[in-house]
Amino acid sequence: MKILHFGLVAISLAVVQAASCLAAEHPNIVVILADDIGYGDLSCYGATKVKTPNLDKLAAQGMRFTDAHCAAPVCTPSRYALLTGQYPWRHEPARRILSGIAPLAIPLDRLTVPKLVKQAGYTTGVVGKWHLGLGETEPDFNTELKPGPKEVGFDYSFIIPATGDRTPCVYVENGRVVNYDPKDPIQVSYGPKIGMEPTGKENPELLFNQKPSHGHDATIVNGISRIGFMSGGKAARWKDEDMADEITQRAVRFVASHKAKPFFLYFATHGIHVPRFPHPRFRGKSEHGLRGDAIVELDWCVGEIMATLEEQDLHRNTLIIFTSDNGGVMDDGYVDGTQEDGSGHLCNGKLRGFKGSPYEGGTRVPLIACWPGRIPAGKVSAEMVSSVDLLATVAAITGQALPNAAGPDSFDILPALLAEKPELPCRETLTMQANPIAVRRGNWKLIPSVRQANGQARPAELYNLADDLAEKKNLATEHPEKVRELATLLEEMRKSGRSQPGNK
Ligand code: CA
């Protein structure tokens, strides 16, 4: 019996050791998703009025992409695609920007990046901006908020429920409002006003810093009026100037406390979304006003993560991916000096359009990937990639096959990351969901005809990005066959429910 028992223990130990060896081969994965950082906002992408030394270092140690995209030019749909590998226009609740009281937009039966890596033994965490909804119906911030990040696959969560410019202005950690006081219950409304608190519309004299330029005139929190009303939760309310410190501290703590086995951290910074309200120590640190200072603060956040990985001796086995959820924008609802900024800084470089636009300025964003010893250092890649590719790429990295229904628009871009030279590019087609949905095959891009708010149709636009990255020359009349080809491609993608061939 004893021999058998020891034998079993030995076998069990061997299995455990094999499993931990296997796990040790898997890299930690840190995805840093910046908010509203445009193609021209980082010095490694050509900015001169703002310096981003940490991101420049990351690019020097890794690979920088020049044709990387988000799946949509605004927060919610872009984030949905990143976590699920599905174009957001396929799933109605994720198509548009959610309010602060929207239910969870990710179906619980959809495979997500955190669920996928958990199958490979990872510990998972999300820190920062969520903006994917909470709860089954309208969430009650006085109770446990579920389903939410945990049900989507995150073991740990410390989140801003929607965005900094929206109520409720509180952090939620593992489903509970941080510093919640039951004697001061929280109410949130995106309809009629609730509570007696001053609003930006009624009491503009109480706005101590930024006045709204459009919208953003409901409840005043921390001297800034927001989209949506809230009452209560006084002890739980954030201070905008401390937000970068608060979330970076949690992200650093997550990294430092999960050394024993591989981890996946989704660090969704609030920088540099409005209200742009960097900590005083970053003010005046750029030549691009508050928006530039917020970029400097964001770069500091990235540097803290990089430094922690080095201190913990984890950096050699960690893949860091930095990208943005959509392109840059100047006036996004507050008068903060950005619109009047005369520095000459071009947030999207020479690209046309801004956040929200179907043009390249809406969705072509910085993407830097660093994985020492695997991704060649200092490389620049012109390969077309999208953040919707994260799911399939992480599946490849962790040696897992995706079920057929998972990640229908996610392509494995690991060969591009490793600078391998396969015969075909990782992805040949791409959609970018604005109004309308733009579609690409190679360098040809179609922005289909769309009916505008005034009832008139805007004609189709066709661009060849190979020699017209700024989308100045509409070739739709010259190349009607290309317009038809790309319109047919988009229709096929709609009908088939996928753009990635899957396991047939
Ligand atoms: Ca955004």
Same domain, 380 and 488: no
Comparing CA positions, the residue from 348, 302, 319 lying closest to residue 57 is 302
Same domain, 52 and 155: yes
**Domain stop point among 417, 443, 478:** 417
Domain extent at residue 470: 435-496
- CATH number of the domain enclosing 442: 3.30.1120.10
Same domain, 453 and 325: no
- 309 C-alpha vs ligand 1 centroid, how far in Å? 26
Classify each residue of 237-247 as buried b or exposed e, where b means 16 or more C-beta atoms within 10 Å of its C-beta. Answer: bbebbebbbbb
Contact 319, 30 (CB under 8 A): yes
Residue ranges in the chain modelled with pLDDT below 70: 1-24, 503-504
CA pair distance 303, 297, nearest whole angstrom? 10
CA pair distance 143, 278, nearest whole angstrom? 31
Q: Is residue 56 part of a domain?
A: yes
- 75 C-alpha vs ligand 1 centroid, how far in Å? 4
Q: What integer pLDDT is reported at residue 1 of this predicted model?
A: 39
Q: What integer pLDDT is reported at residue 503 of this predicted model?
A: 61
- CATH number of the domain enclosing 322: 3.40.720.10
Which 3 state secondary structure label does DSSP give 278?
coil
- 273 C-alpha vs ligand 1 centroid, how far in Å? 6
Give residue-wise pLDDT tens across range 350-365.
Answer: 999 999 999 999 999 9
What are the DSSP calls for 145-158, one per residue?
Answer: --SSHHHHT-SEEE
For residues 327, 76, 456 and 497, what is the CA-based torsion angle, rounded to 10 degrees? 110
Q: Is residue 20 part of a domain?
A: no
CA pair distance 394, 407, nearest whole angstrom? 11
Above pLDDT 90, what percent of the chain?
91
- 504 C-alpha vs ligand 1 centroid, how far in Å? 36
Q: Is residue 427 part of a domain?
A: no
Same domain, 93 and 129: yes
**Domain stop point among 390, 417, 444:** 417
CA pair distance 99, 162, nearest whole angstrom? 7
Same domain, 349 and 410: yes
- 305 C-alpha vs ligand 1 centroid, how far in Å? 21
CA pair distance 44, 53, nearest whole angstrom? 8
User: What are the beta bridge partners of residue 461?
Assistant: 447
Catalytic positions are 75, 131
User: What's the domain count of the chain?
Assistant: 2
Give residue-wise pLDDT tens across range 81-123.
Answer: 999 999 999 999 999 999 999 999 999 999 999 999 999 999 9
- 79 C-alpha vs ligand 1 centroid, how far in Å? 9
The CA R_g of the chain, rounded to the nearest whole Å, is 23
Structure-block tokens of residue 177: 């409002």
- 339 C-alpha vs ligand 1 centroid, how far in Å? 18
Q: Is residue 342 part of a domain?
A: yes
Same domain, 488 and 391: no
- 326 C-alpha vs ligand 1 centroid, how far in Å? 5
Q: Is residue 32 part of a domain?
A: yes
Q: Is residue 208 part of a domain?
A: no
CA angle 28, 379, 423 (to 5 degrees): 90
- 272 C-alpha vs ligand 1 centroid, how far in Å? 8
Give the CA diameter of the chain: 84
Which ranges constitute the DSSP H helices of 257-353? 289-311
What are the DSSP calls for 191-257, one per residue?
Answer: SS--SS--BTTT-GGG--S-EESSS--SBEETTEE-BSEEES-GGGB--GGGHHHHHHHHHHHHHHT
What's the pTM? 0.94
**Domain stop point among 372, 389, 417:** 417
- 78 C-alpha vs ligand 1 centroid, how far in Å? 8
Q: Is residue 186 part of a domain?
A: no
Same domain, 34 and 168: yes
- 357 C-alpha vs ligand 1 centroid, how far in Å? 12
First to last CA, the chain: 50
Same domain, 442 and 332: no
Q: What integer pLDDT is reported at residue 17 of this predicted model?
A: 44
Structure-block tokens of residue 157: 């969560």
CA pair distance 251, 261, nearest whole angstrom? 16
Same domain, 386 and 444: no
- 385 C-alpha vs ligand 1 centroid, how far in Å? 18
Output the CA torsion sign for 333, 334, 336, 342: positive
CA pair distance 430, 416, nearest whole angstrom? 16
Q: Is residue 245 part of a domain?
A: no
Same domain, 396 and 459: no
Same domain, 330 and 371: yes
Residues in CB range of 496: below 8 A, 6 or more apart: none
- 74 C-alpha vs ligand 1 centroid, how far in Å? 5
* Distinct helix (H) and strand (E) counts, the chain: 11, 24
Same domain, 321 and 464: no
- 377 C-alpha vs ligand 1 centroid, how far in Å? 28
